[in-house]
Amino acid sequence: MAESRDAVKIGLLGCGTIGSGVFHLVRKNAAGLTEAARRPVEVSGILVKAIDEARPFEVDTSIMTTEASSLLDDPGIDVFIEVMGGTEPARSYALEVLGKGRHLVTANKELIARHGRELMEAAVRTDAQVMFEAAVGGGIPIVRPMELSLGGDVVNKILGIVNGTTNYILTRMSAEGSTYAEALAEAQQLGYAEADPSADVEGGDAASKLAILSSIAFKAGITSDQVYREGISRVRPEDLDNAAELGYAVKLLAIAERAEAGVSARVHPTMLPRSHPLASISGNFNAVFVIGESVGDLMFYGQGAGSLPTATAILGDVVNVVRTMGSPPASRRSYWSRPGEVLPMEEVVSRFYMVLNVVDRPGVLAKIAGVFGDNNVSLESVVQKGIGDGAQIVLITHGVAERSFRAATEGLEKLDVVLEIPSVIRVES
Ligand code: HSE
């Protein structure tokens, strides 16, 4: 049925890769969008840094402005879509929008992961809505399923491949035997990795996404700086070969877990059994594996970045906002005001893979095993690879608190028979 109500007016804050994708889809899918939202939707103004910029999709430049106030002060705009990225001026604009009781849809993971609490509280004061499906996993619907579909369950664990750049790099290293540096250069050539790849490869991007998912899952505000992070730059092709021999794949996982001792939230390279559904996620795809107390295992898979997948998630939020405009928001997320407690990494229990370059002579293994034993670290498997100058011990521990494992590592470094410890990777059961 055709919709005859007035169009909902959208203000687009930012118009790069994602913003131009939003503009494109609003026009291209106008009929379906109107049907889903139950009102026509139109982009009536766009804030840009420069009007004449190259964009992946054609955008109507006549509605562009470089003056933020001409959009933010326009009383005719009902919903603002923030796709500028970064925390400032995005945060100030978002607070201004919400302060005026206008709704905010954002793809900005840093904004939510750092300032979620402030934004949720501002929204509650004016009955505005804040939506951020696109901030985690690009086009994958994960925020709304976590908030609403799993609202009646208890989420015990989240394991996510939430960074496509690093998954692409690890996939190439594993498939081609290339080094980290070679795979990164290839990812940059293909446009998957930024010229400055640090936010992706050092785990910051994944940490922001995990902070958001953990806040929703554990019903407390968890910020990105509470998430432990370790990137992929020290993963070596040899480790991927060893992992494959042992029946594992190596992935940069974002892991949040509710355990007896408390909640953990961490991003690090992880050896994952090949039989785990996440082990087969290759290339620049993302996937989030959720374990609910009652529902059991769930997995969400798709494109975690890119113009149109991300724009699709944004339009899904717009549909939700428009459908419920005038009623109280579906979720006030008051839990975001409760500071989330996260276990210090020293208390988190993991299994560990470790490689030691050693002197090849009798009694070496006994000395190594002694240090582990002294620190209450139990070994699950130990193999020697290579002989003479190339002798290496490759081992996997049982589950142990990080504190004990670190103490054992310090003890091993002091042994004269241990020449170097080139690699340590956590192992997920
Ligand atoms: N840079 C991210 C990635 C996408 O590589 O997955 C945006 O969050």
Q: Whose CA is nearest to atom 4 of ligand 1?
A: 305
Q: What's the confidence (pLDDT) of residue 330? A: 65
Question: In angstroms, how far apart are the furthest CA atoms of the chain?
Answer: 85
Q: What's the confidence (pLDDT) of residue 2? A: 43
**CATH assignment of the domain containing 396:** 3.30.70.260
**Residue 98, phi-psi category: left (phi > 0), alpha (psi -120 to 50), beta (remainder):** alpha
Pocket of ligand 1 (CB under 6 A): 163-165, 200, 205, 304-305
Reference 305, options 4, 34, 85, 47; nearest CA is 85
278 part of a folded domain: yes
Q: What's the confidence (pLDDT) of residue 261? A: 86
Whether residue 312 sits in one domain with residue 274: no
Whether residue 192 sits in one domain with residue 89: no
pLDDT tens series, the chain, 429 aa = 444 579 999 999 999 999 999 999 999 999 999 999 999 999 999 999 999 999 999 999 999 999 999 999 999 999 999 999 999 999 999 999 999 999 999 999 999 999 999 999 999 999 999 999 999 999 999 999 999 999 999 999 999 999 999 999 999 999 999 999 999 999 999 988 888 999 999 999 999 999 999 999 999 999 999 999 999 999 999 999 999 999 999 999 999 999 888 999 999 999 999 999 999 999 999 999 999 999 999 999 999 999 999 999 999 999 999 999 988 776 689 999 999 999 999 999 999 999 999 999 999 999 999 999 999 999 999 999 988 988 999 999 999 999 999 999 999 999 999 999 999 999 998
In the chain, the number of structural domains is 3
Q: What's the confidence (pLDDT) of residue 5? A: 75
Whether residue 266 sits in one domain with residue 177: yes
The contacts of residue 244 (CB under 8 Å, 6+ apart) are 174, 274
3 part of a folded domain: no
**Residue 54, phi-psi category: left (phi > 0), alpha (psi -120 to 50), beta (remainder):** beta
1 part of a folded domain: no
The DSSP output letter for 316 is H
Position in ligand 1 atom list of the atom nearest CA 199: 1
Whether residue 160 sits in one domain with residue 122: no
Whether residue 180 sits in one domain with residue 109: no
Whether residue 374 sits in one domain with residue 250: no
Q: Does the predicted model carry a pTM greater than 0.85? A: yes
Reference 309, options 338, 285, 343; nearest CA is 285
Whether residue 261 sits in one domain with residue 216: yes
**CATH assignment of the domain containing 240:** 3.30.360.10
Whether residue 288 sits in one domain with residue 239: yes
340 part of a folded domain: no
266 part of a folded domain: yes
* Residue 2 structure tokens: 């055709």
CA atoms within 13 A of residue 66's CA, in its CB half-sphere: 5
What whole-number distance in Å separates Cα of residue 129 and Cα of residue 123? 6
2 part of a folded domain: no
Domain that residue 331 falls in:
8-136+308-335
Phi first, then psi, for residue 197 (nearest 5°) are -85, 5
Position in ligand 1 atom list of the atom nearest CA 164: 6
**What spacing in Å lies between the alpha carbon of 361 and ligand 1's midpoint?**
47
Q: What's the confidence (pLDDT) of residue 1? A: 41
- Which positions are annotated as active-site residues? 209
Q: Residue with structure tokens 């390279």? A: 269
Name the H helices within 127-224: 143-144, 164-176, 180-189, 198-201, 204-218
Element (DSSP H or E) covering residue 414: helix 402-414
Q: What's the confidence (pLDDT) of residue 4? A: 52
Whether residue 294 sits in one domain with residue 231: yes
194 part of a folded domain: yes
**What spacing in Å lies between the alpha carbon of 171 and ligand 1's midpoint?**
15
Whether residue 269 sits in one domain with residue 159: yes
**Could you tell which of 83, 112, 163 is best to mutate to test the pocket of ligand 1, judged by most ligand atoms within 8 Å of the CB?**
163
**What spacing in Å lies between the alpha carbon of 333 and ligand 1's midpoint?**
25
Q: What's the confidence (pLDDT) of residue 143? A: 98
Whether residue 388 sits in one domain with residue 241: no
Q: Whose CA is nearest to atom 2 of ligand 1?
A: 163
Whether residue 230 sits in one domain with residue 166: yes
Helix (H/G/I), strand (E/B), else coil: 18? helix
Q: What's the confidence (pLDDT) of residue 332? A: 82
Phi first, then psi, for residue 386 (nearest 5°) are 75, 165
Amino acid symbol at 370: G
Helix (H/G/I), strand (E/B), else coil: 20? helix
